[in-house]
Structure 1
């Protein structure tokens, strides 16, 4: 077990040694740790070595600010210049929150951001302020998901996250528009494990749970959300995310980017701009309780609200220490040795 505070300080120190200033390093480290605390291990601290590698080869921009493309008050479009994604999104949330208080809602798009980490990591803080957040991203360089009915991978898993307040804990939703994520497939392949379900399609069109097909030549693909049965729904939702992110941001697959990055859609909604905050929370809490009271199909597995398990795990890990995957701990120790920084 590792102390969350020490992991945060270690990660920030590493990122500063790799070239980021204190603010960019802190927000990047903080979002990676938050993903880890919530149980999103492929998008938590496991990403730190990859981010450092990007800094070392100048794939991630170390200094500077995003450029403003358009500013219409409630709507802001930014070019992130491949600056650290977590820092860009945190600063965008701060700005969108101010604008949502004035306009009821605010939308910010970011093109040419670097990777933004785990989307769920941004939700709790916003929701506990009584606000609703919608966050989506795509990677215009990445082509790992095939359209429904096709074999050739065309777009990325395209996650969409939503967080909103209730009268108790917030609802936190983070789902990809594909059957699984690139990170989970890659981890299963490294560990020579099968996936729990047939989430992939091999190059011949057969559904499979073998991650090796994803790395074959020709490569397989990740099925859209819904799989072979109703994947047309996931395909449609993936197209929606692509439109919200790359199309609205004005930079995407048509530009054939070569850098690891993200197109980002962020929306902050203030219930005060619609009815009132108390009415929003009352309705959200009522439906939440109705769902929790639903008779479970399996008595040992009652209904669980989106995000509840992550919030429980976060509380446990903050109190008792972070349970890193062995491969993550090994990678962090190697990174610490390289930069002369102790993991503690």
Structure 2
């Protein structure tokens, strides 16, 4: 990948917050959404980082996406369990509020869970986790979108559900373990990237509408459409398929709003679960165990000596540290899109 121009993280924060506020977002919403999108960029999740700013603001300007904190409705709250209706408010704000609510339950009673229905696009799930692991909390996020079908059932042909990612942050004595895994073989973003590049996918991870496993991204964009295979592919996809059903139940099922309602616009169902180890075996015992396991993993013999075994999130955290130290490298297309949005809002460009 070509190295892009580097920008100071605070400069980007100020610039993007101003874009959102000028487009009509509340200051609080602008700050939270900017923080989440920048964190995704810092961790190397460039398909779910600052490239989403223009898309989000475009949705705001058409009225499809909302940006007022007051529109996020707290439907119920037991102290441990909370339900929010996002009413299509910017997704990173909805999920951040849900995690804060779940963390409050966890720190007061050991565990908290908050569910959001009808949030707009929520970005990179891993980007939400570190503030909670820094507090010694285990944080988990599950997500689905009941308006979209992209992934087939194991043994089936037709697209039924979304990639349904699961993310978790696990505190250790050092850097946290951050995992973010979709219940599909690949993401829609990768399929689209390969299509634009005119290249096949790395593996045959798609199902054509005729029931043939394929690595050709064109077989996904057909009428009727093809589908993405569940995590595990043709051989072991029953595992990813089963986990995807669990995610559907924990998100849209608990939210009381899902595929049965036939929503006609993108609207994430998301569930945040936070656990405080202090209410169980204790934080020291927990981080002793997670750190011990981490050391075992990192010390294991690699298949390729040039590629040592690493923990989930380890590469992203290294990128994050470098970006905060040296500046955030942005692809030229991202810069161009940001500046186009700035021009549309009559604001100065990012230089």
Query: What is the aligned counterpart of 1:58 among 63, 83, 104?
Result: 63
Once the two structures are superposed, what CA deviation does each residue of 1:115-134 show, in whole Å capped at 9, x if it has no partner? 11100001111111100001
Say if 2:28 is the partner of 1:4: no
Give 1:190 shift: 2.9
| Cα separation, 2, equivalents of 1:70 and 1:203 | 42
Count residues with an aligned counterpart.
Answer: 344
CA contact (8 A) 1:107 1:267 kept: yes
1:224 alignment partner in structure 2 = 230
Say if 2:203 is the partner of 1:197: yes
**Structure 1's 176 and 283: CA in aligned 2 closer, same or farther, altered over 3 A?**
same
Say if 2:20 is the partner of 1:15: yes
1:283 alignment partner in structure 2 = 289
CA contact (8 A) 1:171 1:305 kept: yes
| Cα separation, 2, equivalents of 1:180 and 1:255 | 27
2:268 alignment partner in structure 1 = 262
Once the two structures are superposed, what CA deviation does each residue of 1:279-324 show, in whole Å capped at 9, x if it has no partner? 0000000011011111111111111000000000011111222222
CA contact (8 A) 2:82 2:101 kept: no
CA contact (8 A) 2:84 2:98 kept: no
Residues 288-299 of structure 1 aligned to structure 2 (within 5 Å): 288-299=294-305
Say if 2:350 is the partner of 1:343: yes
2:126 alignment partner in structure 1 = 120
Q: Secondary structure at the match of 1:45?
A: coil
TM norm structure 1: 0.96
Say if 2:175 is the partner of 1:154: no
| Cα separation, 2, equivalents of 1:229 and 1:4 | 44
CA contact (8 A) 1:42 1:187 kept: no
Say if 2:48 is the partner of 1:43: yes
| Cα separation, 1, equivalents of 2:338 and 2:213 | 35
| Cα separation, 1, equivalents of 2:269 and 2:178 | 21
| Cα separation, 2, equivalents of 1:234 and 1:327 | 34
1:306 alignment partner in structure 2 = 312
2:3 alignment partner in structure 1 = none
**Structure 1's 196 and 6: CA in aligned 2 closer, same or farther, altered over 3 A?**
farther
Which stretch shifts more, 252-261 or 212-221?
Answer: 212-221
Q: Secondary structure at the match of 1:99?
A: helix
Q: Secondary structure at the match of 2:335?
A: helix
| Cα separation, 1, equivalents of 2:140 and 2:76 | 20
Say if 2:38 is the partner of 1:33: yes
| Cα separation, 2, equivalents of 1:339 and 1:190 | 29
CA contact (8 A) 1:137 1:264 kept: yes
1:271 alignment partner in structure 2 = 277
Give the gaps of 5 or more residues in structure 1.
none
Give the gaps of 5 or more residues in structure 2.
1-5
TM norm structure 2: 0.95
Query: What is the aligned counterpart of 2:334 among 325, 328, 334?
Result: 328
1:85 alignment partner in structure 2 = 91
Give 1:14 shift: 1.2
CA contact (8 A) 1:136 1:266 kept: yes
CA contact (8 A) 1:59 1:260 kept: no
Give the superposed CA RMSD. Answer: 1.3
